[in-house]
A and B are shown apart, each in its own frame.
Chain A
Amino acid sequence: MARFPDYKEPPEALSGLSVVELPSLDPMPFLAAAMAAKSMADFGAEVIKVEPPIIGARERQLGPFRDEMPDPETGGLHLYLNTNKLGVTLDLEDSRAREVLMRMLAGADIVLNPLAPALSARLGLDFAALAARFPKLIIVSVTFFGTDSPYRDNRGGDLVATHMSGVGFETPWHQVTDPKNQPPLKLAGRQADYLTGYTAAAAAMCALFDRKNSGRGQHVDVSQWLAMVSMLRPNIGVYSHESREAPIFERTRARLKRGAQWVYPSTDGWVSFNAGTDRFWRGWKNVMGKPDWMDAEMFGSPLARAGHIDAIEAAIVDWLSTETRQSAFEKAQAEHVPCFPVHTCSEVAANPQYAARGFFADHDHPTAREVRMPGAPCRMSATPWRLKRGAPRLGEHNRAIMIDRLHIAPGEFDALKAARVI
Chain B
Amino acid sequence: MPRLPLENIRILDFGWIYAVPHATAWLGALGADVIRVESTLAPDLVRFLTGTDGVPGFNRSGIYHSINFSRRGVALNLTNPKAQEIARRLVARSDVVTENFTVGNLPKYGLGYDDLRKIRPDLIMLSGTPLGQDGPFAKTVGFGPTTQAFAGLCHLTGYPDGFPCGIGGTWPDFAVGTAMVFFLLAALHYRDRTGQGQYIDLSMAEMVTTMIPEAMLDFFMNGRDPGPIGNRDDAMAPHGVYPASGDDKWVAIAIATDAEFGALCDALGAPSMASDRAFARLTDRLRNVAMLDAEVAARTRNFTREDLVARLRARGIAAGPVYNTEDLMHDEAFLNSGMLVKLKHGEVGERDVPTLPVRFSAIEPRFSGAPMIGEHTGEVLSELLGMKSQEIERLKEEKALL
Contacts and interface: CB of A to CB of B under 8 A. Distances in A.
Q: Do A and B bind each other?
A: yes
Given A80-B213, A231-B175, A236 B222 contact: no
A236 B220 contact: no
Contacts of B201: 378-379, 381
A210 B210 CA distance: 29
A261 interface: yes
A263 B149 contact: yes
A17 B157 CA distance: 37
B239 to A, nearest CB: 6
Interface string A385-409: 0000000000000000000000000
A229 interface: yes
Contacts of B166: 171-174, 262-263, 272
Given A157-B318, A263-B163, A379-B200, A240 B325 contact: no
Contact of A381 (B130, B199, B221): B199
A79 B220 CA distance: 12
- Interface residues of B toward A: which range? 35 or more
A241 interface: yes
A194 B153 CA distance: 13
A356 B168 CA distance: 30
A159 B255 CA distance: 11
A49 B319 CA distance: 29
A367 B28 CA distance: 45
29 contacts: A16-B193, A28-B256, A77-B217, A156-B320, A166-B323, A171-B168, A185-B159, A185-B165, A186-B241, A187-B153, A191-B175, A198-B179, A201-B179, A203-B360, A207-B360, A226-B337, A226-B339, A226-B357, A227-B358, A229-B354, A231-B171, A232-B168, A239-B62, A344-B155, A345-B225, A356-B136, A371-B217, A373-B213, A379-B202
Contact of B207 (A16, A67, A161, A377): A377
Contacts of A209: 5-6, 30, 185, 188-189
A380 B150 CA distance: 22
A375 to B, nearest CB: 8
B356 A230 contact: yes
Interface string B59-74: 0111111110000000
A206 B30 contact: yes
A163 B164 CA distance: 19
Interface in A230-282: 230-243, 246-247, 249-251, 261-263, 265, 270-274, 277
Given A80-B213, A246-B54, A251-B248, A166 B324 contact: yes
Contacts of A27: 256-257, 260
Interface stretch (A1-9, A56-64, A87-95, A315-323): A56-64
B293 to A, nearest CB: 10
A61 B4 CA distance: 42
Given A159-B318, A202-B179, A373-B217, 10 more contacts: A186-B157, A207-B363, A213-B5, A233-B22, A234-B18, A242-B51, A272-B146, A272-B154, A273-B146, A378-B206
Nearest to A68: B222
B225 A344 contact: yes
A383 B316 contact: no
B304 interface: no
Contacts of A203: 356, 358, 360
Interface string A140-183: 00001110111100111111111111111111111000011011
Contacts of B211: 189, 191, 194-195
Interface in B1-60: 2-6, 18, 22, 26, 30, 45-46, 48-54, 60
B26 A239 contact: no
B217 A340 contact: no
A121 interface: no
A415 B181 CA distance: 44
B353 interface: yes
Given A164-B252, A246-B54, A348-B151, A127 B190 contact: no
Contacts of B53: 241-243
A308 interface: no
Interface in B99-132: 102, 130-132
A305 to B, nearest CB: 14
A289 interface: no
A118 B349 CA distance: 41
A234 B217 contact: no
Interface in B135-175: 135-143, 145-159, 163-171, 174-175
Contacts of B239: 159
Interface string A323-341: 0000000000100111111
Nearest to B56: A303
A383 B225 contact: no
Nearest to A149: B333
Contacts of A165: 323, 328
A237 B323 contact: no
Contacts of B159: 182, 185
B200 to A, nearest CB: 5
A164 B337 CA distance: 14
B26 A202 contact: yes
Contacts of B174: 230-231, 233
Interface stretch (B85-93, B227-235, B266-274, B394-402): B227-235
Max chain B Cβ within 10 angstroms of own Cβ: one of A29, A187, A229, A381: A187
A322 to B, nearest CB: 20
B278 to A, nearest CB: 22
A240 B352 contact: yes
A186 B231 contact: yes
A166 B21 CA distance: 21
Give 9 nearest A-B pairs by CB, closest first. Answer: A170-B168, A241-B62, A237-B66, A76-B217, A173-B166, A188-B156, A172-B165, A272-B149, A382-B198
